[in-house]
Amino acid sequence: MREGCSRACLASFLIGASLGAAVALLLAPESGERTRRRLRRAAEDAQDYLEDAGGRIGEKADQALRTIEKKTRSVMG
């Protein structure tokens, strides 16, 4: 499987798992305060993951741009 697809699949899985966990927490017999705390924590974890993934994507894009620039310069002379 291509690397891009496996990352997208992993991201989809994590988002789906987070949403499933949120629904389970909403339906679980716990106090509202505890449920909100868990949801907040899950949202913060998801935000951290997405920020990290975005940073990695940006780094890969920068690397690709540098490679393209280097190859363009070598071809142009």
Q: What is the 3-state secondary structure (H, E, C) of the chain?
A: CCHHHHHHHHHHHHHHHHHHHHHHHHHCCCCHHHHHHHHHHHHHHHHHHHHHHHHHHHHHHHHHHHHHHHHHHHHHC
| Full residue range of the structural domain in which residue 70 is found | 3-76
Counting the structural domains of the chain, the total is 1
Which tens digits make up the pLDDT trace of 3-12? 556 777 777 8
pLDDT at 1: 44
- Cα–Cα distance measured from residue 71 to residue 77, given in angstroms and rounded to the nearest whole number: 10
Which tens digits make up the pLDDT trace of 20-50? 887 877 777 777 788 788 888 988 998 888 8
pTM as predicted: 0.50
